[in-house]
Amino acid sequence: MNIEKSISLFERAQQSIPGGVNSPVRAFKSVGGTPLFMQRAKGAYLYDADGNAYIDYIASWGPMILGHAYEPVVQAIRGKAMDSTSFGAPTELEIEMAELIISMVPNVDLIRMVSSGTEACMSVIRLARGFTGKNKFIKFEGHYHGHADSFLVKAGSGVATFNIQAVPGVTAGVAGDTLTAPYNDLEAVKKLAAEHKGTIAAIIVEPVAGNMGCILPARGFLEGLRALCDAEGIVFILDEVMTGFRLAPGGAQERLGIRADLVTYGKVIGGGMPVGAFGGRKDIMQQIAPLGNIYQAGTLSGNPIAMIAGYTLLSELKKNPSIYKELEEKTIYLREGLEAGLKAWGQPYVINQLGSMISVHFSNHPVTDFASASSASTEAFKKYFHAMLGQGVYLPPSAFESWFLNNALTKEDLDKTISASAESLKQIP
């Protein structure tokens, strides 16, 4: 596979961009080698600067749920751009977007648009603190809620990829207000709540973890968190930046039957544009300025190009909820095909999957939290990643990321992936 242009572009990029990339996981440091520079994408395929084609299992880290360059979204963006790319003033489209989201998602009364998932998560923690008058919050080891200071304590995803668990620039005061517990360990959370009784504003959790691979909640775990929050007056926050509008039209709240006080969104909500949102209970959301005194603002919040992209995509998902069944069927087909090859390979493995999220771990024990994800063989994943890449399959370049399927994938694409996996495993001793 010729990647001469990507090599040249990476060398050039390092002269003007820190590490040559604008988001660390793109640098391929976790898997080694040169990152591929993409030129275009269509449907289920990525095309790099050298003209190589790849079956895509990142989907831009989630948002391209119907495939790249989805025609209705592209046309909607083109049309809206003619009216201007930004106003800095309210538009009717923002109302329509809010009404659409509220119509799809259980338990969201009011919603505020922002420009990223990081901004959404940062805002809900401030909101929960202001609403409760408490300062501390609980997050889970290996969960990544964006790069705001307080979230970088024992975070997953890129932080885990680079083995950075104490991040310079995060003060001791900020870290001291961030309490961490292992995911799926309800007793550890109850212990923290007892030790810090009356001081915890919020618990924030990825309902299905996607930043240490795809890791599902244990039976009763989310329900236990909900009950604890109710008992202790703690705001229960679901970070649905990944799962929102991906696992179901109403996200993880609908799919798992769990009720949050506040919820954050990103990825799918913008159809590939930089968008985030947070919403939830009316009595909490009314504390945000200009109704209340908890300040949050953004010059490009509700940007018309981002709004029309997200509105067009979400409208399609609401109109055709069978898309979720199709996506899950494709993901199960892929999982079963991968499992057949892994069994024939004869070495330990774990596959975690829910809906259109899936991950492969080279492990001899269940992967249920950050510790078990970290103990899987990253060396085996590196070999697997590059072997798959060489056969035209683009996986997340980190063992700590979920794969995301898109509905443009065909049975032929899935069969090619399954075959490529079986061949790739032969290259792992």
pLDDT tens for each residue of 372-383:
999 999 999 999
Indicate the SS3 state at residue 147.
coil
CB 145 within 8 A of CB 178: no
The domain locations on the chain are: 4-69+321-425, 71-319
Active site residues: 144, 239, 267
**Gap between the Cα atoms of 94 and 429, Å rounded:** 54
What is the pLDDT, as a whole number, of residue 162? 46
Q: For residue 157, name the pLDDT band (cuts at 50, 70, 90).
A: very low
Question: Once rounded to an integer, what is the mean pLDDT over residues 22-47?
Answer: 95
**Gap between the Cα atoms of 316 and 314, Å rounded:** 5
Query: 300 is written with which tokens?
Result: 């490009």
Omega cis (within 30) before 290: yes
CA distances, 2 to each of 30, 105, 385, 390, 416 (Å): 21, 46, 17, 10, 20
Question: Once rounded to an integer, what is the mean pLDDT over residues 84-93?
Answer: 96
Does residue 165 register a pLDDT over 60? no
Question: Once rounded to an integer, what is the mean pLDDT over residues 280-292?
Answer: 97
What is the pLDDT, as a whole number, of residue 172? 75
Just give the CATH number of 4-69+321-425. 3.90.1150.10
Does residue 158 register a pLDDT over 70? no
87 C-beta neighbours (distance < 10 Å), count: 11
Does residue 169 register a pLDDT over 90? no
Does residue 252 register a pLDDT over 60? yes
Closest CA to 414 of 43, 42, 55, 46: 55
**Gap between the Cα atoms of 99 and 95, Å rounded:** 6
CATH entry 3.40.50.2300 includes domain 71-319: no
Q: What is the pTM of this model?
A: 0.94
Handedness of CA 14, 17, 21, 27 (dihedral sign): positive
What is the pLDDT, as a whole number, of residue 266? 97
Query: 306 is written with which tokens?
Result: 């981002």
Mean pLDDT for all residues in the chain = 94
Question: Once rounded to an integer, what is the mean pLDDT over residues 198-213?
Answer: 96
Question: Once rounded to an integer, what is the mean pLDDT over residues 400-420?
Answer: 97
Residue 12 C-alpha from the chain's centroid: 29
Closest CA to 239 of 218, 217, 266: 266
